[in-house]
Structure formats: C-alpha cells, structure tokens
Amino acid sequence: MTGTVYLVGAGPGDPGLLTLRAAELIARADVLVYDALVSPAILERATAPRRIYVGKRGGEHSRTQDEINDVLVELAREHRCVVRLKGGDPFVFGRGGEEALILARAGVPFEVVPGVTAGIAAPAYAGIPVTQRGMAASVAFVTGHEDPTKADTDVDWAHLARGVGTVVFYMGVGRMAENFRRLVEAGRAPDTPAAAIEWGTYPRQRTVTGTLATLPDVAREAGIGAPSLIVVGEVASLREQLAWWDRRPLSGKRIVVTRARAQASEFAAALEALGAETVQFPTVRIVPPADPEPLRRAAAGAGSFHWIVFTSANGVQHFWAALDEGGGDARSLAGVRVCAIGPATAAALKERGVRADLVPGEFVGEAAAEALLAAGPVVGLRILLPRADLARAAVPDRLRAAGADVVEVEAYRTVQDGAGADAVRRMLERGEVDAVTFTAASTVRSFVQLVGAGTGGALVASIGPVTSAAAREAGLQVDIEAAEYTIPGLLAAIRERLGNQSGTA
C-alpha cells in the first residue's frame, strides 16, 4: 500500500500564518520532511516520530534535489501520511512542482497545501503593500539568483523594468547590486524606491529602505543577510507611514524565558505579541512528588482541615489530580476555607469550582500568613499547605508560632531541566540577549547552575521580591522587578523598561 505525500506550505515564519489544513497535517504526520526555513515554532507542533531535514542554506545542501525526490517516493511506501514541509508556498520558488511531477510519475498519491508566500507576507509585515491604487497595478515575483551555469537568463529584464509596478526578488540579497543594475539598464529609474526585508515575519525581522541606486550600500552597511526579500517599486515608499510589525513596544528585543515548559507558552506568547523574540529555556520541570502517598492522604482527608493554603497554580493542579484519583471533587472541600496566593492560583481554583475565601493583597507567602492571622485566631486550627518540595518555611513557621496545626505536604517537585543551556550561554556571551526572566527562585538557582551568573549585559527581570532575593544571592543583579508579583505584572515591568521604537528604518 502506498501512502500519500502532502506538499505543505509552512508560510514565511510566523506560526500565526500557518493554514488550518497545514496545522492539521503537521500534527498527524507519520514522517516529516522539512526545509531550513521552516520556523522552529512550527516544527514544535509536529508529533511525528520520524523527522528528516533536507534543508538548503547559503549554497550548502544537506541533500540534492534528486535525493529528496527519491526519499519522498521511498517514504510513501513506508508511511500513510508523509508531510513534505516547505517554507512559504511549495509552488512559489519552492521546487514543489518538481517534486509533484516525480511523485505523479512514480504513481504516488499527493496533495498540495498552499502556504502564505514570503513575497506577500514579508512586505506586508514591513508596511509595504505589493499593489496599491495609483502606484502599482501589477506585481512580479522573481528569483534573485538564477542558476549561474545557464547561458541565458529566463528573466525578461526589459519587461520588469518598464511593464511591472512592483518587483519582488526572492533570495536576492547576494546579487542585489547586479539585479538592480540590470533593471536600471533596462529602463527603471535609479531613484525608484526599494526595500530589503531580512527574516520576514519573524520577531527578528529587519527592514532597510533606499532606492535602486542606494539600497545595495545601505543593506551592506546594515549587515542585512539571508534570508532576505527585496521589494522594488513606488510601494516601498509607503513603509514610513504603514510600518507596524517592527514598531511594536518590544520589537528587536530578545528575551530568555526560564519558566517551566508547561507554563512558558502563555508568557512567551505575550512577549511575542509585543514584538519580542523569545528564547524558551526551561530551567526546571514540574513533576509529581517522589512519594505520592502523603498527597493522596491529604486530599482524601481534605474535609478535616479548617484551611487549605494553595501557594501556586501548580499546587492546585497536583492536589486536584490526587483528589480526582481518590474519587473526590470540589464537594470534598465543603466547609473548608481556601486561601490562594495570587490571581493565577485563585483562577486555577475557580476553574475547578472553588472560589478562594482569601487572596492576600501581596502575592508572597508572608502576606498569606498575615492575612490568615488577620482573618481570625488560628490556635488549634488544622491548616493544609500542598506545595513544592523546595518551598520556603516562612508560611508554616509563622502559622505554627501563632498556634496553628500546620500540615505540609509535597504536591509537586521542581527538577532541573536545562536543555539548550550551551546555546543560551553562547548568546549571552555574544551579547545577543536583552533580558532574562525569572518567575521563581527555583528557576534562578537552576539557571545559575546550568549557565552561570554571567548575563553578558542582559537585564535580569524578576517576578517579585522572593525571586529577586534568590537572584541576588546567586550573584545576579536584578534590573527589573514586577510591581504586581504576577506574569502580567512582570510583562508590564519589562515593557516599561525595554519598550522602544527600535527596528524602524
């Protein structure tokens, strides 16, 4: 039986431009064959047990096109769903047509899933419409580097120069000066506006503008490299008015997120929405307790406590898992008062049908203890604290000193993760990071153990005083601290300190 090969366009880079059909196929592929310009954020969506890289960058090919063709035919004989994932659109300078012909001749079923091509998306993100009433009624997509071994060119330079409103060169930064010279010689005015867009639709996107006469020098001085797209035409002059992608508050900033992988996505997405490029470096993982029995007993006996104090959403999640395992639910907490440290913890409880009776004004353990004491005498009260293995003793010590019977139970553990530590260390050493974020003391300790205390000039951003104290103790200088000890508070503090209009040109 022969499987189906899906020639799928991954779009230009921004995962938000992925089509629904492409996302569906990426998620269910048996094997993924992908190119160099497929965004890592898109590859993270894949669950395929087998992945084959066939990228081509800077003249270096991991495999020849003939070899790629053979691989696709062979894989179709072994798997039901083969996804050939290409940057942009498979039929726009993606050699998808060649691969489709080979598959057709070999009798292999195939489907084509178009993708958003960079020739439209990258200019749009740079604030350049490729067509515009009164400026450009036509657009041509042109390869920026024809095969140098060919005797003749397939490009009609005279027509491009005089008969097309906007010319978009793919992969043309290396031959920009030569291509511009041909356009001018064929009749295009040297003062025609032009733009070079590097890493289009990625957070690191950069755009420089000029004219046919000046842009090659401007791009060289700015260090614009591949992958880049070149736009020639009057529409390039609209960038100054329409630029938006690289004028967001955190555009051009690279920020390391050290939060545990399961929790990092929302924070990273919020930073990226403000324009930042995030490097997800989870220094810790959240795992169940080494011995789950004490948590099970505590959950089973939840009704015997006067108060349960949840210090984090993780504590809620793991306590509820133990509660569910024992056949309990929110009704098991009937008559029990609940304290939640922070709005995220309170929200996690509310999702499970429990409204917190007490949420301290400050989101730290000491404030929780004082709030409990202010709520009434605790002498003789049984108080349960399901929390992390490395949690501080401030809360139970204060409550015990006031006469409470405090039961501490390990709800989860934080263990060191650190995949990618070498890459993060190199970025820091090269001064390529603007900020490193910490959302818990455990992330600080693991970061320093994995990477060291040198940040290469990157600012240290902390979610609150407890985390800041751990950072200072580890030898880090804290530059940013959230006024409200939450992820939104940390986001606001980073925006206030780093927010700028960088990236414009």
- Positions annotated as catalytic residues are 35, 56, 171
Q: Would you state the pLDDT for residue 262?
A: 66
Tell me the two tokens of residue 103. 């598959």
Over the stretch 412-429, which tens digit does the pLDDT of each residue have?
A: 988 878 778 999 999 999
Fold of the CATH domain 254-283+417-498: Rossmann fold (3.40.50)
CB proximity list for 150: less than 8 A, separation 6 or greater = none
Report the mean per-residue pLDDT for the chain: 91
Mean pLDDT of 318-332: 93
pLDDT band, very low/low/confident/very high, at 149 (cuts 50, 70, 90): low
Q: Would you state the pLDDT for residue 60?
A: 58
Q: Would you state the pLDDT for residue 41?
A: 84
Q: Would you state the pLDDT for residue 505?
A: 39
Amino acid 259 reads R
pLDDT band, very low/low/confident/very high, at 151 (cuts 50, 70, 90): low
Fold of the CATH domain 291-415: Rossmann fold (3.40.50)
Burial class (CB in 10 A: 0-12, 13-18, 19+), 137: exposed
CA 399 to chain centre: 41
Mean pLDDT of 186-214: 95
Domains 254-283+417-498 and 291-415 share a fold: yes
CATH architecture of 4-116: 3-Layer(aba) Sandwich (3.40)
CA distances from 175 to 143, 220, 229, 332, 355 (A): 10, 12, 12, 71, 64
Does position 210 have pLDDT exceeding 60, yes or no? yes
Nearest to 35 by CA among 87, 112, 70: 87
Gap between the Cα atoms of 491 and 249, Å rounded: 11
Sketch the domain layout of the chain as residue ranges.
4-116, 120-247, 254-283+417-498, 291-415
Percentage, residues of the chain above pLDDT 70:
95
Over the stretch 397-416, which tens digit does the pLDDT of each residue have?
A: 889 999 999 999 999 988 87
Gap between the Cα atoms of 409 and 294, Å rounded: 6
Gap between the Cα atoms of 85 and 54, Å rounded: 10
> By the 8 A CB rule, do 436 and 461 touch?
yes
Q: Is 93 left (phi over 0), alpha (psi -120 to 50) or beta?
A: left
Does position 40 have pLDDT exceeding 60, yes or no? yes
- CA angle in degrees (0–180, nearest 5) for 90-201-183: 70
**Which residue is it, tokens 């009434």?**
376
Gap between the Cα atoms of 237 and 62, Å rounded: 39
Amino acid 405 reads D
Mean pLDDT of 214-228: 96
**Which residue is it, tokens 């790629």?**
68
Q: Would you state the pLDDT for residue 99?
A: 96
Over the stretch 342-368, which tens digit does the pLDDT of each residue have?
A: 888 999 999 999 999 999 887 677 778
132 DSSP 8-state letter: B
**Which residue is it, tokens 């939104």?**
488
478 DSSP 8-state letter: P
Over the stretch 76-111, which tens digit does the pLDDT of each residue have?
A: 999 999 999 999 999 999 999 999 999 999 999 999
> By the 8 A CB rule, do 399 and 408 touch?
no
CATH number among 3.30.950.10, 3.40.640.10, 3.40.50.2000, 1.20.930.40, domain 120-247: 3.30.950.10
Does position 502 have pLDDT exceeding 70, yes or no? no
Gap between the Cα atoms of 138 and 277, Å rounded: 34
Per mean pLDDT, which range of 49-53, 57-61, 247-251 is the poorest? 57-61
Over the stretch 223-279, which tens digit does the pLDDT of each residue have?
A: 999 999 999 999 999 999 999 998 899 998 999 999 877 677 788 889 999 999 899
Over the stretch 104-148, which tens digit does the pLDDT of each residue have?
A: 999 999 999 999 999 999 999 999 999 999 999 999 999 977 655
Mean pLDDT of 289-303: 93
Over the stretch 315-324, which tens digit does the pLDDT of each residue have?
A: 999 999 999 9
pLDDT band, very low/low/confident/very high, at 444 (cuts 50, 70, 90): very high
